[in-house]
Structure 1
Amino acid sequence: MRRPVRRSAFRAVIGLVAAAALAAGFGPASTAFAEDGTPLPVAITGKSHVDLSLQSDGEDSDEPQVTLRLAAPGSDEPGDDGVIPVVHQGPYTIKIDASGLDGVAAVKLPCGAKGLTAVCDGYEINAGETYNEIGDIRLSVDADSAAGDFGTIKVTGEGEGVDFAPLTIDVLVGGPELLGRKLSEPKGLAAGDTYEAPVGFRNVGGMAADGTVLHFHGSRGLSFPDSYGNCAYKATTDGPLLRQGTDAICTFTGTYKAGTAYALSEPLKVKTADFALNDIVNYGFSAVGAQKAKALMANDGYTPGTGAPMTLEEVPGASAGDYARYAELDLPTHSTYDLVLTGASAQGEAGDTVKAEIGFRNDGPGWISALRNGGEPVSFTVAVPEGAKVTKSPERCNLTNIDEGVKGYVCWVETPLLEKTKLSFPFELRIDRVVKNARGKVALPTWDNPVEPEQSNNTAWIVLNGTGDGGGDGSQGSSGDPSATPHPTASGDDASGSTGTSGSDGTSSSGGDSGGGLAFTGAGGALLLGGSALLALGLGAVIIVFVRRRSAA
């Protein structure tokens, strides 16, 4: 997670340093040179090629195709003090010349420009690229645009002590535009089965494509059993679960005519793992040159395929409605997982402190991929037994009001959640008053979830000084209607930093300071709230206090 950027404090320090330098007779430190006295190298970055479609695709007409930035030496990651280094101070000018698009396309330039040229002035340049944004360029076809029209935008920079590397943006109107064949899940597809994807494209552009490149991807629960000689493959098996999976790039030579559809000579086989559930397969064709694709494959860890080459063939009479800009599919959607809570029991006298270790596990067979929502957490509530007080709670649990007059904790587990995961949530409780068979309910939200048909084990109990008629094995009681206030929403897609205990056959992906509300990630990756969410609406004060305490920590 990026630390907050504190530029104002840094500017104040720079101002004091500059004033001191002037007083000492050193002159203004307005430029930055390399150690050998040469100007600071800074590159103007942005997309170098834009294809403008003659088709109306319903996209937002204000969405820019190019964002211009400056890439300077050094890292744009803030230091421990939250400050991003400034590598240059002094006036500089960025000039954008789009006169090469006159009669080709309409253009909207940044920095208040009203014509085909713009001048953007700046003073500070930060290290890296992220925080050096110049502005956006929006391109669109107009009445003069025709298929095959071509023009360029040239971006240059000037400034004392800075050597700007220019940027040229090529713009092509009505070039090849390849839409992918839509995918649909076959009826009855189950985890472990192989899906045969009808991969192909239709060229809806105004020009033929001289060669094409196919990229396809499968998330963690998917793989591609065939290996083709004109493809290269890369499997990502470490790092954030949201990014794990298999990628492939395939190159095709030949001419692919405008207004014509093509398909692979045989379906692309997609193997689903036994734990697969709502995994994602997607693909796309592009008309970029084969040499660019091969360079990417060579420099990004891809391994060449070993079999016969994959081939394309023309599809006569293809329906335009069968093709879309994005071709992707969730599969399989009919597998299941089984979340299980286990409770604990303890005996003690008044004044004693006892331990209660709550268990959480996923008995599978499916994992909770959460690929569509970026990793919303699963939450459950823990009520405190009568006569006891929690003296130590897990880092992933926060004090809350579960119900009217019932205090307890809301605990969360980050997703994605692997199959066969086992976690432990240890609580310590002080018995202030002995109550025979005092019980605290541990429960997941209750809702109609077809992906988890077995929900009787979604409830467990903490039992203190039990008399033999109560238990905490997770098999007794019903889910009921637990309620809780939410905790801060997770950000990013790297769910890590678990403070629980993970079993030898499972992996935790829960976080300490990240998480979402009282939520459950269901079959379609949508955020589904139980009846407990209604209570959370009336607990804004509790949420504010909690956030402030977290911020202070």
Structure 2
Amino acid sequence: MRRNSLTGLTAVFASAAGLAASLLVAGPAVATSSQPVITLDAPAPAALPAAPATAGVSFEFHTKTKNLQAYDATLTVDARGLSKIAKVTFSSNCTAHGLVATCGEMFESGSDPKNGLGSETQLTLTALRGSRLGATGTYKITGRSAHAQIVGGTGSVTVGGPSFGLNRLADHTDLKVGSNLTEPVQFSNVGNRPARGVQTVLAVSPGLDFVDHYSNCQYGSDGVVHLARCYPKGAIDIAETAALSAPVRLHVNSTALFTYLDVLTAPLGQPGWPDGPGMKWTWGKKTAPALKLRVIKAGRHSSVPAGSVSLPQDGTVTDYGIASLKARNTADFAVSGASAQAGAGKTATLRFHLAANGPATLYDRSGGDGVPTAWVTLPPGTTVVGHSADCDPWQEDNPTAAAKGPYVCHLPGYLVPRGQVADFSLTLRVDDVITHAAGSVQLNWGPDPAHSHRPAFDPNGRNDSAALTIN
């Protein structure tokens, strides 16, 4: 099972650069037109590494209007405020005159504007030779279209910054339900500026609980993952290696199976620090101990001002890590059958389900590949004339498959807790009356029953299949 980053929490764990979705340096103008409005998302502040390395800046927009089409959009990027600190290269859709560029864009929102609007416009920034560490500049974006009002904004760029490289986290297997485990968290500042402190996010997947709650950590949940964002005191010098003063302690609860600890570190003050949509954060009790930092290897003191925006990370250094934690547990999945009667030319609806009997929660970070499906074979002499939303013919755009099956019925998501029951239905027309015409529902782990391999965590195969009968 692949270890992807947290589904539904991309904004939390995209990376330090992705987290830096700060408030605009200068707020956008208020839209007064009756036209649809396209608004620039707050640009992430950029920190420039030493030349010749570069930092890239891209832009995202959003709108509340469905099916918006603005193929004639033009963005103007005024980067003259960066003239003293950076060389600016504009993307190929732009025509530049010095540090001011006009860039063609095609915006289309589709039926779900919540997905946001990407843009082709990008900046590639290189620090100028001799530019002072800590020096800051700004750029401004405006836009126009005959079909929408475009609301722009301003972004900032700073020369240099800290950059935290997180030590690799340890994976654990064969964890006993009810046990506790520890996970040390250690990182180094490989940037060219110190940080006045560190902020750390810890996220535990279903099946895990925090043992410790610290006074300088905030705790919250998005309904699936439990998070702690902590602010241990202590400056981080250049080349310093530090660790959380105590390893992260986790309790393996009765729902644990495939579960994870995600860790993200960033300089204190990193803009856009994660605050999931609608998430409520609660500070640990004042009487609880504080989480601190412990210096593993002293860095070097510097007169360079401390930074709060992380440098881009080059792939050899990452501020984000995932520990895979596998518990010794079971999760029993079962299917039910159904029966109905109907005369020739009449229809009958067969209702059946796929149930998660637990005790473990199945949490599939691969995006759905590790979640079972129900493979449905029709009773002979029948044709499908209707089906529930989560059931589809095994081949798309195949009229024969749509009429005669087989059908594949899917669970509603990547998280399958104990007690969840997914209800399905197929409505069949009886073409030929056959006494006790029997099809089947088969629990399937894979692309089809011929390649299905029941996992070791579901040892009970007696409830993996059931009959569907007509007449």
Out of 47, 67, 76, the residue aligned to residue 51 of structure 1 is 47
More helix per residue: 1 or 2?
A: 1
TM-aligned CA deviation for residue 414 of structure 1: 2.5
TM-superposed CA distance for 1:252, in Å, is 2.8
Residue 135 of structure 1, aligned match among 112, 115, 121:
121
Q: Gaps (5+ residues) in structure 2?
A: 1-29, 300-315
Deviations 1:425-468 (A, max 9, x none): 33454555454443213222322533433334322222445xxx
Question: Aligned pair 1:172/2:151, yes or no?
Answer: no
Describe the shift of the 1:228–1:94 C-alpha distance in structure 2 as closer, same or farther (beyond 3 A): same
- Give yes or no for contact 1:375–1:414 (8 Å, CA) kept in 2: no
**Counterpart for residue 461 of structure 1:** 467
Residue 368, structure 1, aligned to residue 362, structure 2: yes
| Corresponding residue for residue 226 of structure 1 | 212
- State the match for 2:282 in structure 1: 303
Q: Counterparts of 2:210 and 2:421 in 1: how far apart (Å)?
A: 29
1:334 to 1:217, Cα distance in 2 relative to 1, 3 A:
same
Q: Is the 8 A contact 1:363 1:420 kept in 2?
A: yes
CA deviation digits over 1:150-187, x for unaligned, max 9?
A: 3424326599xx998752412222x2211122212234
Secondary structure of the corresponding residue to residue 195 of structure 1: strand
Partner residue, 1:494: none
Tell me if the contact between 2:70 and 2:106 (Cα under 8 Å) persists in the aligned partners.
no
Note if 1:258 corresponds to 2:238: yes
Q: How many angstroms apart in 1 are the aligned matches of 2:457 and 2:200?
A: 33
Report the equivalent of 1:409: 407
Comparing 222-231 with 426-435, greater Cα deviation is found at: 426-435
Aligned with residue 78 of structure 2, among 63, 70, 95: 95
More strand by share: 2
Q: Given the alignment of the two structures, is residue 148 of structure 1 paired with residue 133 of structure 2, yes or no?
A: yes
Note the C-alpha offset of 1:90. 11
| Cα pair 2:361 2:417 within 8 Å, conserved | yes
Deviation at 1:374, TM superposition (A): 6.2
> How far apart, CA to CA, are the structure 2 residues paired with 1:358 and 1:257?
62
> Residue type matched to 1:216 in 2?
L
Equivalent-residue separation in structure 1 for 2:263 and 2:191 (angstroms): 19
Which amino acid counterpart does residue 207 of structure 1 have in structure 2? R
Aligned residue type for 1:280: Y
Rounded to whole Å, the distance in 1 between the matches of 2:87 and 2:165 is: 24
Task: Write the distance in 2 (CA, Å) between the matches of 1:229 and 1:165.
Answer: 40
Question: Of 194, 199, 205, which aligns to 2:180?
Answer: 194
* Alpha-carbon contact 1:249-1:293 (below 8 Å) kept: no
State which of 207, 210, 230 in structure 1 corresponds to 2:193.
207
How is 1:25-174 mapped onto 2 (pairs within 5 angstroms)? 34=32, 46-47=42-43, 49-53=45-49, 65-68=56-59, 76-79=63-66, 82-83=67-68, 93-97=76-80, 99-102=82-85, 106-110=87-91, 112=94, 117-120=99-102, 130-131=116-117, 133=119, 135-140=121-126, 144=129, 148=133, 150-155=135-140, 157=142, 167-173=154-160
State the SS of the aligned residue for 2:175: coil
Q: Report SS of the residue matched to 1:425.
A: strand
* 1:362-394 superposed Cα distances (whole Å, 9 cap, x missing partner): 122222322332688643322222344455543
* Cα distance, 1:55–1:193 mapped onto 2, change above 3 Å: farther
Query: Matches of 1:439 and 1:311 in 2, distance apart?
Result: 65
Task: Report the TM-score when normalising by structure 2.
Answer: 0.68
| CA shift digits 1:43-90 (9 cap, x unpaired) | 86543532344699xxxx89x63224678xxxx1224xx33799xx99
Q: Give the 3-state SS of the residue equivalent to 1:363 in structure 2.
A: strand
- Residue correspondence of structure 1 range 470-489 to structure 2 within 5 A: none
CA offsets, 1:209-234, max 9 Å, x none? 21121122223443323221111112
The answer to whether the 8 Å contact 1:53/1:177 transfers is no
- Partners of 2:46 and 2:119 in 1: how far apart? 19
Say which structure, 1 or 2, has more relative contact order (CA 8 Å, 6+ apart).
2
Q: Partner of 1:493 in structure 2?
A: none
Indicate how the Cα distance of structure 1 residues 395 and 407 shifts in structure 2: closer, same or farther if over 3 A, else same.
same
Residues in 1 aligned to 2:243 and 2:269: alpha-carbon distance in whole angstroms? 19
C-alpha contact 1:100 1:151 (8 A) present in aligned 2: no
Say whether the 8 Å CA contact 2:207–2:256 is kept in structure 1.
Answer: yes
Matched to 1:47, the amino acid is P
1:279 paired residue among 242, 259, 267: 259
Task: Indicate the larger mover: 376-385 or 40-49.
Answer: 40-49
Q: What SS class does the counterpart of residue 65 from structure 2 fall into?
A: coil
* Per-residue deviation, 1:97: 1.8
Relative to structure 1, the CA distance from residue 302 to residue 439 in structure 2 (aligned partners, 3 Å threshold; closer, same or farther) is: same
The answer to whether structure 1 residue 330 and structure 2 residue 324 are counterparts is yes
Three-state SS of the structure 2 residue aligned to 1:137 is: strand
Write the distance in 1 (CA, Å) between the matches of 2:349 and 2:37.
61
The structure 2 residue matched to 1:450, chosen from 431, 448, 456, is: 456
Q: How far is the alpha carbon of 1:311 from its aligned partner?
A: 0.8
**In structure 1, C-alpha distance between the alignment counterparts of 2:350 and 2:108, rounded to whole Å:** 52
Do the aligned residues in 1 keep the contact of 2:374 with 2:410 (CA within 8 Å)?
yes
Mapped to 2, the partners of 1:392 and 1:156 lie a distance apart of 51
Distance in 1 between the 2:262 and 2:183 partners? 10
TM-score, normalising length from structure 1? 0.59
Distance (whole Å) between structure 2 residues aligned to residue 179 and residue 123 of structure 1? 36
Count of residues in Structure 1 that have an aligned counterpart in Structure 2 = 402
In 2: Cα distance, 1:123 partner to 1:382 partner: 46
Q: Which amino acid aligns with 1:66?
A: V
CA distance in 1, matches of 2:176, 2:340: 43
Question: Does the 8 A contact of 1:52 with 1:140 survive in 2?
Answer: yes
CA contact (8 A) 2:184 2:247 kept: yes
**3-state DSSP of counterpart to 2:233:** strand
Q: 1:425 to 1:115 in 2, by over 3 A?
A: same
1:150–1:172 contact (8 Å) kept in structure 2: yes
Unpaired runs of 5+ residues, structure 1, are: 1-31, 238-243, 466-553
Q: Which of 1 and 2 has greater Rg?
A: 1
- Once residues 456 and 55 of structure 1 are traced to their aligned partners in structure 2, the CA distance between those partners, rounded to angstroms, is 64
C-alpha contact (below 8 Å) 2:169/2:322 kept by paired residues: yes
* Contact 1:440–1:462 (Cα < 8 Å) also in 2: yes
Post-superposition shift, 1:309?
0.7
| Alignment partners' CA distance in 1, 2:462 and 2:455 | 13
What is the deviation of 1:205? Answer: 1.7
Cα gap change, 1:84/1:368 in structure 2, threshold over 3 Å: closer, same or farther?
farther
Q: Shift of residue 353 of structure 1?
A: 5.5
Residue 139 and residue 33 in structure 1: after superposition, are their counterparts in 2 closer, same or farther (change >3 A)?
A: closer
2:318 is the alignment partner of 1:342: no
Please give the alpha-carbon distance, in whole angstroms, between the structure 1 residues aligned to 2:150 and 2:351: 62
Structure 1 Cα separation of the partners of residues 217 and 193 of structure 2: 25
Please give the alpha-carbon distance, in whole angstroms, between the structure 1 residues aligned to 2:328 and 2:132: 45
Aligned-partner Cα distance in 1 for 2:275–2:173: 37
Percent identity over paired residues: 20
> Structure 1, residues 126-154: CA drift from partner, whole Å, max 9, x if none?
99995585821123468x47893634243
> 2:167 matched to which residue of 1?
181
Distance 1:53 1:42, change over 3 A: same
Checking the alignment, whether the CA contact within 8 Å between 2:234 and 2:293 is kept in structure 1 is no
Contact map agreement 1:195 1:269 (CA 8 A) in 2: yes
| Residue 268 (structure 1) aligns with | 248
